Amino acid sequence: MQSNKLAQGLPRAPIFGVGMPTLDGITGVLQVVSGARSQGAGRRCSALWINMREEPVVYVNGRPFVLRE
């Protein structure tokens, strides 16, 4: 059975990709990147988040919405 889910990161490289995550999704990504899930909360790290969207994203009740013409 083939999975339609893409890999979330590049193996052995600190590069990850997401589509249009909810606020909970962003929190989850940052926990994975920082290693907080495996090492406990409170760990700090640096992350560079790049948004390639042309339209602004607005979050309403934690859900993303895109403003389009």
Kindly list the domain boundaries of the chain, sorted by start residue.
23-66
Whether residue 37 has pLDDT greater than 60: no
- Structure tokens that stand for 22 in this block: 């909810």
- Structure tokens that stand for 59 in this block: 């979050």
Q: What is the band of 48 on the pLDDT scale with cuts at 50, 70, 90?
A: confident
Region 27-53: mean pLDDT is 73
Whether residue 24 has pLDDT greater than 50: yes
> Torsions phi, psi of 28, nearest 5?
-65, -40
pTM here is 0.58
Judge whether 34 and 47 are in contact, CB under 8 Å.
yes
Region 31-45: mean pLDDT is 67
Angstrom distance (rounded) from CA 39 to CA 32: 10
DSSP annotation of 59 reads E
